[in-house]
Amino acid sequence: MDYLQILERIHKAILPYSKEGKQADYIPELANVNPDQFGMCIHTLSGETAAIESADTRFSIQSISKVFALAMCHSIKGDALWKRVGKEPSGTAFNSLVQLEMEKGLPRNPFINAGAIVMADILLSHLSNPEEDFLRFVRAVANNNTIEYNHSVALSERSTGYLNAAIANLLKYHGTIENDIEEVLHFYFLMCSIEMSCRELAVAFAAFANHNRPFDYAGITLTTSQVKRINAIMQTCGFYDEAGEFAYLVGLPGKSGVGGGIVAIYPLRYSVAVWSPRLNSKGNSVMGIKALELLTTETAESIF
């Protein structure tokens, strides 16, 4: 399969959508990103890599970081993690409060904000240096020691993060988080602020695609079965209230972020990352979803 040619063809085909959607501006720093950018990189487990356009430009990975947080929490807590957070799709927006109130502070899954805030709390309780340890783990999975947090993005999100603060308060009220709310939110926003390129994300997610290989990065270990289960949660919960549509159009487990990035994996075959800042109303990249839909359609390579 000539992936480079396929990616180039896909890019041409989705150009008509390049002005559709709007970049996230509820995080002031993200409003400053040029929305007219696009990058894509596919990395096969047999060692081929194809990358096009701005595949080497770093962007704010935002909620894609929740997969890394889940890997760490699952490694640390094993199945006891599921006492703190559920694993059912929510069918609601990533930042919704409604379900959390009805379900008495137990987040539906680790990928909605409430679930990720609980994971931030777990990591704060269990790691000796949470900020360093999280970054060290992400760098190890991506095999790249230059990956960094963007502190201005994290601070910028804190300055307007009223909804996430409301979620954290509701969690604290129900006793679902142990640490100080300010500390938990600070760490949650910091994890979201990590910057990576499509190429770096594709390499990092090969660790999830290749569930037969031992998962062991910076002291974080997962069994084959635990990696497969993380992939299952990406499939059912990775796109919030658009998870069904993503499964229908693309047919791969994946995770999106409001920075406009999407990663997806075809277990035992490849990992792919795509980035374009303009988002649809569900907070997922318009061109990103289109590109992945075309990729799995053209190659007939999806899990279904």
- Site residues (vs ligand GLN, CB under 6 A): 62-63, 94-95, 113, 157, 164, 192, 257-258, 283
In 3D, which of 295, 196, 285 has the Cα closest to residue 18? 285
Q: Which residue's CB is nearer to ligand GLN, number 207 or number 258?
A: 258
Residue whose CB is less far from ligand GLN, 50 or 117 = 117
H helix intervals, the chain: 3-14, 65-77, 98-102, 113-126, 130-142, 151-160, 162-173, 181-192, 198-209, 224-237, 243-249, 286-299
Looking at the Cβ atoms of 64 and 202, the one nearer to ligand GLN is 64
**CB closer to ligand GLN, 187 vs 215:** 187
One-letter identity of residue 212: N
- CB nearer ligand GLN, residue 37 or residue 62: 62
User: CB 232: neighbour CB atoms within 10 A?
Assistant: 12
Closest approach, Cβ 245 to ligand GLN, in A, equals 15
CB of 153 to ligand GLN, least distance (A): 9
* Residue 42: alpha-carbon gap to chain centroid: 16
HEC per residue, 120-181: HHHHHHHCCCHHHHHHHHHHHHHCCCCCECCHHHHHHHHHHCHHHHHHHHHHHHCCCCCCCH
User: How would you classify residue 160: left for phi > 0, otherwise alpha for psi between -120 and 50, otherwise beta?
Assistant: alpha
For ligand GLN, the nearest residue by Cβ is 63
Nearer CB in complex with ligand GLN: 63/109: 63
* 238: nearest Cα among 183, 285, 175, 302: 285
Least CB distance from residue 159 to ligand GLN, whole Å? 13
Q: How far is the CB of 95 from ligand GLN (least distance, A)?
A: 5
* Min dist. Cβ of residue 72 to ligand GLN (A): 17
Nearer to ligand GLN, 23 or 231 (CB): 23
Distance of closest approach, residue 97 Cβ to ligand GLN, in angstroms: 13
The nearest distance, CB 157 to ligand GLN, in angstroms, is 6
Phi, psi of 262 (to 5 degrees): -140, 135
